[in-house]
Amino acid sequence: MCGIVGAVAQRDVIEILLEGLRRLEYRGYDSAGVAVLDAAHQPAPLQRLRRLGKVQALSDAAAEQGLAGGTGIAHTRWATHGEPSEANAHPHVSGDIAVVHNGIIENHEGLRRELQAEGFVFQSQTDTEVIAHLIARETAAGQPLLAAVKAVRKRLEGAYGMVAVNSQTPDRIVVARSGSPLVIGYGIGEHFVASDQLALLPVTRRFAFLEEGDVAEITRQSVEVFDLNDQPVVREARESSVEHDAGDKGEYRHYMLKEIYEQPQAITNTLEGRLLNGQLNLEALGDLSDVDSVQIIACGTSYHAGVTARYWIESLAGVACNVEIASEFRYRQPVIRPNTLLVTISQSGETADTLAALRQARAQGITKTLAICNVPGSSLVRESDMTLLTRAGAEIGVASTKAFTTQLAALLLLTAGLAERRADAAAVQQKIANALATLPGLIQQTLGMNEAIEKLAERFAEKHNALFLGRGDQYPIAMEGALKLKEISYIHAEAYAAGELKHGPLALIDAEMPIVVVAPHNDLVEKLKSNIEEVRARGGELYVFAGESAEISSADNMVVVPVPNCDDLIAPIVYTLPLQLLSYHVAVIKGTDVDQPRNLAKSVTVE
Ligand code: AGP
């Protein structure tokens, strides 16, 4: 989704801004723009450049035009209001003011009418342009930029992270945060701002995260932050532990493939200190003894992790568990039982719906909240009582891979914690510990299926639809497989609990419909075999990822790909891998943009 970078320095900041945008490219965008000012001159001419398409096009144009300046703001736009076009790209300018903005201004239509009635002329279809005009109206009336932004934010409804410059005062930038993250980067005699610290890692490792409602004025020498009530506040700058080279593809053709192959290490990192010498160490989870039920909230792939965890939490810990998509939860009036633990799951920790659902649950009286999240310092982490970090490392590919499997590993740890009240807690926890201990090795072994799956992928490239089937805790894995295939290969794919086949989807089966089945050797495998036969009898084309000991063999219209035997408990994690690899290879054959699939964003910070 949209990305923001800003800088105020003595040196030319254009390359810092462009490199920042490059590092945010993974989030998904359709256009890019930059505005720079030369702080040595007051007033300084506002130089703005925007391009439809990739940051490289903007970078080439900036070099051609010799764009330079010590103060600047830059943006990658993911269209919400108005088509992807140069006119709709940020920064938006009104008089001396230039603005970049992430999020959505919900009352923009009313504000647009108000400004048009006063003679302001709009150059774009965006909601953001109202912000530029509103600030320009304040500064034209004599307000300094900081006071102007403070006044304007009171008029805005919706979510925003915004950065503004004024060519009359080119030595400063003013930023405001409400619902969309912003982080300030501290250099020596220079300061930066971005929507994600990853953008600024080449120039600094010291970051302060703005809180909801904060406004900050940033110059080369100072950072002054004001809270929602306009009171000065200190947002402490801390050293970041995020890897500098997180944005490097290394030897891999795509980030997605790199991240698939990083899973053995990512899971080892998730378990570090939490699984010691075959024993679980669950101290970090705190006291869960008063938890009578669990409510999980998440979106997309993270939601699939939650659905998988429900099977574990109910069967292993004996605790009632409900799972819901955040965008649904936030707009209904759920009945939340006393002593409910609210668990949010998110790779980014900035997903707008998940954050809103967390706030909604708090407003309804939930007092115990746990975030399972991959980004330390993210909004979700900061707003939750407890955190279980997944430690997958930066995930750049839009398609979530290592974030998902590490979420599942973390959810097994949570299950073990919730099992504490059971009479046989020690046995259940030891069973989980034993299974988790084998996981990194098993994942490594499962990656050995890559070549076989690459061949299989050729059979999918010409297809328009696919069905994914699973039963029990493999049903959410089928859902995840279908999501992966559709998001990066653009093949329409749906998942069904195999038992549901004859209640409708069986009508879809013909020779043109590939059906992918996840079939570990578990207590449901015989039921699943019956479902497989139902499909075969109707001429369906089956691709079965089956446990080595499941006794399912290739036959007419049925390709069976063996998956290493593993403990039932961790089979959902192991069977995720072949499905990730399948969608990856299909997308490569189809020639889609694997890491930045069309219309999608890595971090969905708007509703
Ligand atoms: C999955 O491949 C997608 N990128 C998407 O469904 C993602 O999982 C969802 O947007 C939630 O993101 P989060 O984990 O950062 O909250």
Nearest-atom number in ligand 1 for the CA of 301 is 8
Q: Is the CB of 348 under 6 A from ligand 1?
A: yes
Angstrom distance (rounded) from CA 607 to CA 599: 15
Nearest-atom number in ligand 1 for the CA of 298 is 16
Nearest CA among 490, 440, 426, 423 for reference residue 460: 490
Q: What is the largest CA-CA distance in the chain?
A: 80
What digits encode the pLDDT tens for the residues 172-181? 999 999 988 8
Structure letter (DSSP) for residue 476: H
Query: What integer pLDDT is reported at residue 42 of this predicted model?
Result: 72
For residue 408, the number of C-alpha atoms closer than 13 Å in the C-beta half-sphere is: 31
Residue 364 has pLDDT above 60, yes or no: yes
Contact of 410 with 286, CB cutoff 8 Å? no
The yes-or-no answer on residue 299 being catalytic is no
Average pLDDT over residues 472-499: 97
Measured in Å, residue 593 CA sits from the centre of ligand 1 at 17
Angstrom distance (rounded) from CA 285 to CA 304: 22
Report the share of the chain in percent with pLDDT over 90: 79
Measured in Å, residue 477 CA sits from the centre of ligand 1 at 15
Backbone angles phi, psi at 459, to 5 degrees: -75, -15
Q: Is the CB of 225 under 6 A from ligand 1?
A: no
Q: Is the CB of 302 under 6 A from ligand 1?
A: yes
In terms of residues, how long is the chain? 607
| Structure token digits, residue 507 | 């009508």
Name the residue with the closest Cα to ligand 1, atom 8.
Answer: 301
Measured in Å, residue 422 CA sits from the centre of ligand 1 at 33
Contact of 577 with 480, CB cutoff 8 Å? no
Residue 553 has pLDDT above 80, yes or no: yes
Q: Is the CB of 399 under 6 A from ligand 1?
A: yes
Measured in Å, residue 298 CA sits from the centre of ligand 1 at 9
Measured in Å, residue 194 CA sits from the centre of ligand 1 at 21
Residue 39 has pLDDT above 80, yes or no: no
What digits encode the pLDDT tens for the residues 373-408? 998 878 899 899 999 999 999 898 999 999 999 999
Average pLDDT over residues 481-509: 95
Residue 497: Cβ-neighbour burial (10 angstroms; 0-12, 13-18, 19+): middle
Residue 365 has pLDDT above 70, yes or no: yes
What digits encode the pLDDT tens for the residues 266-283? 999 999 999 988 999 998
What digits encode the pLDDT tens for the residues 432-450? 999 999 999 999 999 999 9
Probe ligand 1: pick from 26, 297, 299, 592, max atoms within 8 Å of CB?
299
Measured in Å, residue 217 CA sits from the centre of ligand 1 at 32
Residue 555 has pLDDT above 60, yes or no: yes
| Structure token digits, residue 604 | 């969905």
Measured in Å, residue 457 CA sits from the centre of ligand 1 at 24
Nearest-atom number in ligand 1 for the CA of 484 is 2
Helix, strand, or coil (residue 14): helix
Average pLDDT, the chain: 93
Angstrom distance (rounded) from CA 392 to CA 372: 12
- Identify the band that residue 170 occupies on the pLDDT scale cut at 50, 70 and 90: very high
Ranges 66-80, 235-249, 443-457, 519-533: which has the least confidence: 235-249
Query: What integer pLDDT is reported at residue 269 of this predicted model?
Result: 95
Query: What integer pLDDT is reported at residue 244 of this predicted model?
Result: 56
Residue 484 has pLDDT above 80, yes or no: yes
Q: Is the CB of 604 under 6 A from ligand 1?
A: yes
| Structure token digits, residue 176 | 């405001």
Probe ligand 1: pick from 198, 260, 347, max atoms within 8 Å of CB?
347
Residue 242 has pLDDT above 90, yes or no: no
Q: What is the CA radius of gyration of the chain?
A: 25
Residue 93 has pLDDT above 90, yes or no: yes
Average pLDDT over residues 120-147: 96
Q: Is the CB of 47 under 6 A from ligand 1?
A: no
Residue 551 has pLDDT above 60, yes or no: yes
Average pLDDT over residues 67-85: 92
Measured in Å, residue 303 CA sits from the centre of ligand 1 at 8
- Identify the band that residue 602 occupies on the pLDDT scale cut at 50, 70 and 90: confident
Q: Is the CB of 300 under 6 A from ligand 1?
A: yes
Report the share of the chain in percent with pLDDT over 70: 99
Query: What integer pLDDT is reported at residue 442 of this predicted model?
Result: 97
Nearest-atom number in ligand 1 for the CA of 487 is 2
- Identify the band that residue 603 occupies on the pLDDT scale cut at 50, 70 and 90: confident
Choice between 188 and 52, residue whose per-residue pLDDT is larger: 52
Name the residue with the closest Cα to ligand 1, atom 10.
Answer: 300
- CA-angle at 339, arms to 338 and 344, nearest 5°: 110
Name the residue with the closest Cα to ligand 1, atom 16.
Answer: 346
Query: What integer pLDDT is reported at residue 245 of this predicted model?
Result: 59
Q: Is the CB of 371 under 6 A from ligand 1?
A: no
Query: What integer pLDDT is reported at residue 243 of this predicted model?
Result: 64
Residue 203: how many other CB atoms lie within 10 Å: 20
What digits encode the pLDDT tens for the residues 519-532? 999 999 999 999 99
Average pLDDT over residues 549-572: 93
Residue 350 has pLDDT above 90, yes or no: no
The yes-or-no answer on residue 2 being catalytic is yes
Helix, strand, or coil (residue 322): strand
- Identify the band that residue 246 occupies on the pLDDT scale cut at 50, 70 and 90: low
Backbone angles phi, psi at 436, to 5 degrees: -65, -35
